[in-house]
């Protein structure tokens, strides 16, 4: 049932960059800062990569090399479903004896959803089940690499100039005698290519001079552009043969207009995220390495450490008036700690707390119910109660040093949370 | 060498390059030959069924901040799969982007994602970097506007026209409203924009000059004497798996005419180019007219470039331009990437220059000290040190400040 847990009814205020109100189930609790954290005030980091179809973990170095794509799985270029490899038997001549033919396995890719196969785009069947298919290469790669090299050379020169200027600025009082040695100053000295240059940057400059200067031919502009072919105006359009924009944009390098040029691409990976508190840089949530595991190595979620409010079961000391008056018990209420085993123990004896029956409704292991009176101030509308919940929190992280020396256990800290409870509309 | 980037022991990680367009965003890494992903610039929110556009200039800062934050989060954690804290960012953007948008974007990057540095690169300048030439006239036919900008070394003349893919979509949609009410079962209010875009991409094209002129005449001719050339065949476009939309042939070729029609001010895409040339200093005109670069997704319509060239050549004979422009030769470049990725590629090439990327970017420390990013239209930022001697170094790569040419 969607309304069973009703998480939106009880909201906690989180003071991050801006104040946001979030249910406790979506919050984390940093026990080093002793504060609530929401998804907005933690920094997200990429933890591990994995392929969504074969669920294989990929180390990040390999993922970077493969451009975050799985080596084995392919996506259908038409419908983006995962492709499966199918095998057929084709007759092929034996290497020893050309006259006899034997059945050999040939593999091709096929989509189970839209019935696309690799034979539609003209990809030949491969003789190995995986690793045979290559993605086509961008024809402009070489030109782009050359451009990058050329610009890197210019950038290097600019950096040298900048460094030299910095050096010049740092020592304005340099006597004239030294300027020759350091190669600073006038144009005359710079123009002499054979001049002795200081060891500071002499090495790189000398190397630069020996190195062949990379030049590229600038791009040539064309006078004429190919016009549309004449039959464009009269040829009927075969719509399934024309690629949609979405299909084109999946292959940014080629963006083919015809479906017969749509090549499959390797499947893109997904990643697992880990969360880190921005202030103290401790990890709040770290997932397991194995892609199939849903557990966490570190999971500092708020519901484990703080009180969960459901309905009206809370401990309250002070209250802040929102839309109504709330009369709360003025005494401190005691709650026993969470004991995992006691959950299953139906016949647990009462713990021996003396409860005022006017205040406390019921008590069971680590849950307590109590009464508060709510007096709405308005005739109609939704009733929202806002109050501050103050409780003590013992950091139960296991101390590294044993406590046999008689040290006190960790101090109890009093934490205050601002809670908002929406009680629903008034019955008219 | 690009092959060993990221595996080498020294050097920093490759920068992230993002081209945030009005319709589509191209994202990827520096030094690569193409963007990793081209995704629509919108996010899906739990509340509304329609996607929310990311590049909006008229909404208030808080809303824009949360939209941009969500979008950049998607970019990093679904498409690029890297940690934001490790890599510098190069943002390729239009010069006409409002400062408010740019500031909000940089706040998202610096405050929320804590990137080390951000560089805002003008898209037109970046496109010129892909060619290895000194200067060019760049026209960006995108979604919301067509913008012309003159490349290195001087930022002087620019022109813009609010006519682009969005206008084509609207026209297409309107044409359907008028024509199809009688034919089909459904009412035309439910054609979503991405269907319109798909129809445009798959079925529409730009006719050549003579045919285009005839179509325009036939449309505006009131007494019906002009003969409209025979339309191309109709297309049956399936919608939703149940209904079929008949795309009339007449619509297919006349929609793109809107880009070349001269409105009341006699402005069209072709005149945009010529007006820019007129604005430029005389001695640069010849160089610029022979180095035209057309980028942007709308220019990928079949027949667009050919038509543009013919329009320019015919317009230059008109009295308005004949005396003003002496040059008659026009040449178009073909950059080593598709027109919608050219600006991104330029940004990627620039981002690969690790020696100077750091010095030209706005670092996080600078941003936390001053709280804003330097802008080309803002006079309060000091001019950069003049690093270049005249004649020593070809293209002075521009920072976002006034160019200093000695």
Residue-wise pLDDT for A1-39, tens only, equals: 445 556 667 788 888 777 888 888 888 888 888 888 888
Tens-digit pLDDT profile for residues A295-312: 888 888 887 766 555 544
Tens-digit pLDDT profile for residues B299-350: 888 888 888 888 888 888 888 787 777 777 888 888 899 998 999 999 999 9
Range ranked top by mean pLDDT from A26-40, A64-78, A194-208, A297-311: A64-78
pLDDT score of B28 more than 90: yes
Rounded to the nearest 5°, which phi and psi values hold at A395? -75, 105
Tell me the C-alpha distance between B268 and B246, whole Å: 29
Q: How confident is the model at residue B186 (pLDDT cuts 50, 70, 90)?
A: very low
CB A200 within 8 A of CB A183: no
What is the pLDDT, as a whole number, of residue B2? 44
Tell me the C-alpha distance between A145 and A378, whole Å: 71
Tell me the C-alpha distance between B342 and B19, whole Å: 10
CB contacts < 8 A, A to B, total 188
Query: Radius of gyration (Cα) for chain B, nearest Å?
Result: 23
CB B168 within 8 A of CB B200: yes
Q: How confident is the model at residue B36 (pLDDT cuts 50, 70, 90)?
A: very high
What is the pLDDT, as a whole number, of residue B25? 93
What is the pLDDT, as a whole number, of residue B110? 92
Portion of chain A with pLDDT greater than 70, in percent:
61
The arithmetic mean of pLDDT across residues B30-35, rounded, is 92
The answer to whether the CB atoms of A221 and B333 lie below 8 A apart is yes
CA atoms within 13 A on the CB side of B119: 28
The arithmetic mean of pLDDT across residues A211-215, rounded, is 65
The answer to whether the CB atoms of A232 and B385 lie below 8 A apart is no
CB A320 within 8 A of CB A387: yes
Q: Which of B235, B303, B336 sits opposite A237 (nearest CB)?
A: B235
**A178-182, A198-202, B152-156, range with the lowest pLDDT:** A198-202
pLDDT score of A335 more than 60: no
pLDDT score of B265 more than 50: yes
Distances A160 to A195, A202, A204, A218 between C-alpha atoms, Å: 17, 11, 9, 25
Q: Which residue has the tokens 């005249």?
A: B390
The arithmetic mean of pLDDT across residues B228-238, rounded, is 75
The arithmetic mean of pLDDT across residues A149-166, rounded, is 86
What is the pLDDT, as a whole number, of residue B401? 40
pLDDT score of B201 more than 60: yes
Sequence-ordered list of residues with C-beta below 8 angstroms from that of A74, at least 6 positions apart, any chain: A82, A83, A109, A133, A264, A265, A266, A267
Higher pLDDT, B96 or A360: B96
Tens-digit pLDDT profile for residues A254-288: 898 888 888 999 999 999 999 999 888 899 999 99
Quick one: tokens of A107? 């593999």
Average pLDDT, chain B: 76
**A140-144, A167-171, B145-149, range with the lowest pLDDT:** B145-149
Higher pLDDT, B87 or B244: B87
The answer to whether the CB atoms of A147 and B359 lie below 8 A apart is no
Chain A residues in contact with B394 (beta carbon < 8 A): 154
Q: How confident is the model at residue B73 (pLDDT cuts 50, 70, 90)?
A: very high
The arithmetic mean of pLDDT across residues A140-151, rounded, is 90
CB A63 within 8 A of CB A236: no
What is the pLDDT, as a whole number, of residue A311? 44
The arithmetic mean of pLDDT across residues A44-67, rounded, is 91
What is the pLDDT, as a whole number, of residue B169? 63
- Exposed e or buried b for every residue in A230-246, given b needs 16+ CB within 10 A? eebbeeebeeeebbbbe
Tell me the C-alpha distance between B232 and A232, whole Å: 8
The answer to whether the CB atoms of B387 and A158 lie below 8 A apart is yes
Q: How confident is the model at residue A204 (pLDDT cuts 50, 70, 90)?
A: very low
Rounded to the nearest 5°, which phi and psi values hold at A180? -65, -40
Check if A4 contacts B (Cβ < 8 Å): no
Check if B77 contacts A (Cβ < 8 Å): yes
What is the pLDDT, as a whole number, of residue B125? 82
pLDDT score of A250 more than 50: yes
pLDDT score of B135 more than 70: yes
The arithmetic mean of pLDDT across residues B25-32, rounded, is 93
pLDDT score of B90 more than 90: yes
Check if A128 contacts B (Cβ < 8 Å): no
What is the pLDDT, as a whole number, of residue A394? 65
Range ranked top by mean pLDDT from A47-56, A208-217, B187-196: A47-56
What is the pLDDT, as a whole number, of residue B124? 82
What is the pLDDT, as a whole number, of residue A53? 92
The arithmetic mean of pLDDT across residues A152-179, rounded, is 73
CB B40 within 8 A of CB B24: yes
* A140 CA: distance to closest CA in chain B (Å): 6
The answer to whether the CB atoms of B388 and A235 lie below 8 A apart is no
pLDDT score of B242 more than 60: yes
Best of B14, B202, B246 to disrupt the A interface (most A CBs within 10 Å) is B202
Partners of residue B120 on adjacent β-strands: B91
Comparing C-alpha atoms, which of B247, B258, B96, B305 is closest to residue B164? B258
The answer to whether the CB atoms of A228 and B111 lie below 8 A apart is no
What is the pLDDT, as a whole number, of residue A379? 63
Higher pLDDT, B10 or A63: A63
Tell me the C-alpha distance between A109 and A209, whole Å: 53
Q: Is B104 strand, coil or helix?
A: helix
**B71-75, B111-115, B360-364, B402-406, range with the lowest pLDDT:** B402-406
Q: How confident is the model at residue A183 (pLDDT cuts 50, 70, 90)?
A: very low
Tell me the C-alpha distance between B252 and B231, whole Å: 8
ipTM of the complex: 0.81
Residues 108-167 of B with CB under 8 A from A: 111-114, 129-134
CB A216 within 8 A of CB B132: yes
Tens-digit pLDDT profile for residues B374-403: 766 555 555 444 333 333 333 444 444 443
Chain B residues in contact with A241 (beta carbon < 8 A): none
What is the pLDDT, as a whole number, of residue B92? 92
What is the pLDDT, as a whole number, of residue A403? 42
Q: Which of A45, A161, A225 sits opposite B332 (nearest CB)?
A: A225
Tell me the C-alpha distance between A216 and B244, whole Å: 53
What is the pLDDT, as a whole number, of residue B9? 42
Torsion from C-alpha of A227, A231, A237, A242, nearest 10 degrees: -40
pLDDT score of A405 more than 50: no
Portion of chain A with pLDDT greater than 90, in percent:
13
pLDDT score of B72 more than 90: yes
What is the pLDDT, as a whole number, of residue B257? 79
Chain B residues in contact with A266 (beta carbon < 8 A): none
What is the pLDDT, as a whole number, of residue A309? 53
């Amino acid at each position: 049932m969607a309304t069973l847990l009703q998480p939106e009814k009880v909201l906690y205020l989180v003071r991050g960059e801006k104040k946001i109100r979030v249910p406790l189930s979506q919050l984390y609790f940093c026990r080093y800062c002793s504060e609530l954290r929401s998804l907005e005030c933690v920094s997200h980091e990429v933890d591990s990569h994995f392929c969504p179809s074969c669920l294989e973990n990929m180390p990040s170095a390999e993922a970077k090399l493969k451009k975050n794509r799985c080596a084995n799985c392919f996506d259908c270029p038409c419908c983006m479903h995962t492709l499966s490899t199918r095998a057929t038997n084709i007759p092929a001549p034996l290497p020893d004896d050309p006259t006899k033919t034997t059945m050999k396995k040939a593999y091709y890719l096929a989509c189970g959803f839209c019935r696309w196969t690799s034979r539609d785009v003209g990809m030949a069947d491969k003789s190995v089940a995986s690793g045979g298919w290559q993605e086509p290469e961008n024809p402009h790669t070489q030109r782009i690499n050359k451009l990058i090299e050329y610009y890197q050379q210019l950038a290097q020169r600019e950096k040298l100039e900048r460094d030299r200027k910095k050096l010049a600025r740092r020592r304005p009082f340099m006597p004239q005698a030294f300027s020759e040695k350091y190669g600073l100053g006038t144009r005359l000295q710079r123009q002499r290519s054979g001049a002795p240059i200081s060891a500071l940057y002499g090495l790189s400059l000398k190397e630069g001079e020996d190195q062949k200067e990379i030049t590229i031919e600038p791009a040539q502009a064309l006078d004429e552009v190919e016009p549309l072919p004449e039959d464009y105006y009269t040829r009927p359009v075969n719509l399934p043969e024309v690629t949609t924009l979405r299909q084109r944009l999946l292959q940014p390098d080629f963006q083919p207009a015809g479906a017969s040029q749509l090549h499959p691409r390797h499947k893109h990976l997904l990643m697992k995220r880990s969360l880190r508190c921005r202030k103290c840089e401790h990890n709040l949530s770290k997932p397991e390495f194995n892609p199939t595991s849903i557990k966490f190595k570190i999971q500092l979620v708020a519901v484990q450490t703080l009180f969960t409010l459901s309905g009206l079961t809370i401990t309250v000391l002070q209250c802040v008036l929102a839309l109504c008056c709330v009369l709360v018990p003025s005494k401190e209420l005691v709650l026993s700690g969470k004991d995992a085993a006691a959950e299953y123990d139906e016949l647990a004896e009462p713990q021996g707390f003396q409860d005022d029956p006017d205040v406390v409704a019921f008590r069971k292991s680590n849950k307590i119910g109590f009464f508060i009176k709510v007096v709405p101030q308005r005739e109609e509308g939704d009733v929202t109660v806002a109050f501050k919940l103050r409780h003590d929190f013992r950091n139960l992280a296991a101390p590294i040093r044993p406590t046999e020396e008689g040290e006190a256990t960790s101090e109890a800290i009093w934490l205050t949370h601002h809670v908002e409870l929406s009680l629903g509309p008034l019955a008219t | 060498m690009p092959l060993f980037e990221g595996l080498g022991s020294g050097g920093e990680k490759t920068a992230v390059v993002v081209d945030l367009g009005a319709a589509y965003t191209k994202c990827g890494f520096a030094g690569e030959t193409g963007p990793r992903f081209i995704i629509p610039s919108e996010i899906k929110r739990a509340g509304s069924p329609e996607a929310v556009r990311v590049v909006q200039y008229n909404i208030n800062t808080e809303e824009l901040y949360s939209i941009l934050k969500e979008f950049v989060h998607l970019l990093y954690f679904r498409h690029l799969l890297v940690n934001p804290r490790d890599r510098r960012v190069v943002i390729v953007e239009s010069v006409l982007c409002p400062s408010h948008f740019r500031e909000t974007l940089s706040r998202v990057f610096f405050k929320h994602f804590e990137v080390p540095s951000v560089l805002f690169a003008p898209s037109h300048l970046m496109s010129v970097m892909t060619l290895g030439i000194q200067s060019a006239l760049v026209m960006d036919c995108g979604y919301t506007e067509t913008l012309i900008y003159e490349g290195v070394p001087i930022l002087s003349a620019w022109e813009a026209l609010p006519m682009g893919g969005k206008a084509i979509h609207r026209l297409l949609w309107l044409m359907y409203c008028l024509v199809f009410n009688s034919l089909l079962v459904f009412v035309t209010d439910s054609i979503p924009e991405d269907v319109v875009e798909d129809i445009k991409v798959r079925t529409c094209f730009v006719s050549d000059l003579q045919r285009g002129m005839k179509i325009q005449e036939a449309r505006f001719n009131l007494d019906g004497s002009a003969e409209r050339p025979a339309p191309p065949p109709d297309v049956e476009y399936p919608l939703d798996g149940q209904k079929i939309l008949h795309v009339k042939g007449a619509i297919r070729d006349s929609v793109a005419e809107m880009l070349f029609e001269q409105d009341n001010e006699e402005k069209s895409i072709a005149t945009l180019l010529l007006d820019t040339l007129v604005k430029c200093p005389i001695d640069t005109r010849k160089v610029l007219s022979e180095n035209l670069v057309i980028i942007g997704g709308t220019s990928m319509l079949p027949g667009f470039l050919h038509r543009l060239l013919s329009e320019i050549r015919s317009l230059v004979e008109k009295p308005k331009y004949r005396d003003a422009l002496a040059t008659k030769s026009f040449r178009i470049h073909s950059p080593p990437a598709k027109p919608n990725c050219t600006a991104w590629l330029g940004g990627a090439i620039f981002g690969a220059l690790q020696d100077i990327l750091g010095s030209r970017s706005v670092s996080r420390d600078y941003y936390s000290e001053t709280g804003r990013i330097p802008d080309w239209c803002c006079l309060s930022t000091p001019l950069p040190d003049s690093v270049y001697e005249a004649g020593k170094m070809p293209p002075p790569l521009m920072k976002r400040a006034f160019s200093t040419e000695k």
